[in-house]
Amino acid sequence: MYKVKAKSTFNIISQSALSSDEWKVLGILYQPIIGVLSFSLYHTFYHLLNTKNYQSETFTHQFLLDVLNVKIDQVKEAREKLEAINLLNTFVQGEHTVYQLKSPLSP
């Protein structure tokens, strides 16, 4: 499998905005399971989205590392937790990654 590098690029897509109830579910139910860094990664991805079309512009992973103040292996671990709990899909195309945010289960 492709190993994400700091200089590689990514963008984020999603289906829709999250409601305040969904944010509560993420914070109260999911965060204790996935941890603070995974929650922060999801939160950061969400806020990088354009609210008109639910797509982000293209960023480097270095930008993400700088925003979260973490190392690339920590992002990988946080991403894997989000994938395991069905909050994120990851698609790799060459040296570009597309992250698809998924909504939490309904309250």
Per-residue burial over 14-50, b if 16 or more Cβ lie within 10 Å, else e, is beeebeeebeebbeeebbeebeebbbbbbeebbebbe
What are the backbone dihedrals phi and psi of residue 2, each rounded to the nearest 5 degrees, phi first? -65, 135
Q: How far apart are CA 52 and CA 49, in angstroms?
A: 9
The pTM of the full predicted model, rounded to 2 decimals, is: 0.94
One digit per residue, the tens of pLDDT, for the chain of length 107 reads: 567 899 999 999 999 999 999 999 999 999 999 999 999 999 999 999 998 999 999 999 999 999 999 999 999 999 999 999 999 999 999 999 999 999 998 86
What local confidence, expressed as pLDDT, does residue 106 receive?
A: 80
Q: Quick one: CA dihedral 4, 44, 17, 27, positive or negative?
A: positive
Read off the tokens for 40.
């922060």
Q: pLDDT value at position 8?
A: 95
